[in-house]
Amino acid sequence: MFGLLLAVAFGALAIWRQSTVNDTPGDISQRLSSKLNKLWDIAQESLRDRKYLRAEKALLTILRVDERNATAYNRLGILYAKQQAYTDAIECFEIAQSLEPSASSLHNVGLIYYETANYDKAALAFEQALSMEDDLAARHIAYAKVQEKLGHQKKMIESLERAIKIEPSIQSYHILADAYERTGQTDKAGELRARIEKAVASKNPPARSVHQVRKVQM
């Protein structure tokens, strides 16, 4: 990771030297903007195609131009996480968080701690992410998973029920039904599965009987 930071520092100097003395500030800004857009396209495409070395080079070049780009650090963290380079991934997410605090960065840190079985740290990261943004079902489902690992069954169920209130998808209902079964609440699990089967037949998600369901933009 130290090498990454050195590359960013010296790379910025190299790019500056590429400009000619006749360039106006507007020319330089337009050229850099065009280059950054191309690099973002390369990074996104390469991540999607699992061409990780190419994606890493594109993201590092972006950081050479804009060393305070939190989004680039976040993407770099995702790239390292996909390669199971978890220490580097966490460091990138933490840098992103220090530059631009976001629930996404904290959630990503939580996912890595979960993958490496650091469940207490994962729970803390998820809680911090939820304190900033609690209207995404996926965040509550992730928090529920780590609470199950910690043996907190009540918190797990509460989090899954909250996820369904936010996004009542068939998948979310299956996850909750499975959780009910694992915690010995077989009656609730059976009732929920019956509602799922009925919903699949009618092509509508099971309706909540008490709470008003609210969809969110993903």
Residue 69 lies in a domain: yes
Q: Is the pLDDT score of 50 beyond 80?
A: yes
96 and 123 fall within a common domain: no
Contact (Cβ atoms closer than 8 angstroms) between residue 112 and residue 142:
no
Q: What is the pLDDT of residues 18-28, one digit of tens each?
A: 554 455 555 55
Q: What is the mean pLDDT of residues 113-119?
A: 95
89 and 15 fall within a common domain: yes
40 and 81 fall within a common domain: yes
- Domain with 42 in it: what CATH number? 1.25.40.10
94 and 141 fall within a common domain: no
Record the pTM.
0.74
Nearest to 119 by CA among 87, 142, 101, 85: 142
Residue 57 belongs to domain spanning: 1-100
91 and 3 fall within a common domain: yes
Residue 178 lies in a domain: yes
216 and 126 fall within a common domain: yes
Residue 171 lies in a domain: yes
Residue 66 lies in a domain: yes
Residue 163 lies in a domain: yes
Contact (Cβ atoms closer than 8 angstroms) between residue 192 and residue 180:
yes
88 and 171 fall within a common domain: no
Query: How much is the pLDDT for 200?
Result: 83
Q: What is the mean pLDDT of residues 132-158?
A: 96
72 and 124 fall within a common domain: no
Q: Is the pLDDT score of 29 beyond 70?
A: no
Residue 27 lies in a domain: yes
Residue 111 lies in a domain: no
Q: Is the pLDDT score of 132 beyond 80?
A: yes
35-43 LR contacts (CB < 8 Å, sep 24+): 35/65, 36/62, 36/65, 36/66, 43/72, 43/75
State the total domains in the chain: 2
Residue 107 lies in a domain: no
Q: What is the CA radius of gyration of the chain?
A: 22
Which amino acid, one-letter code, is at 172?
Answer: S
Q: What is the pLDDT of residues 158-212, one digit of tens each?
A: 999 999 999 988 999 999 999 999 999 999 999 999 988 988 887 766 654 333 3
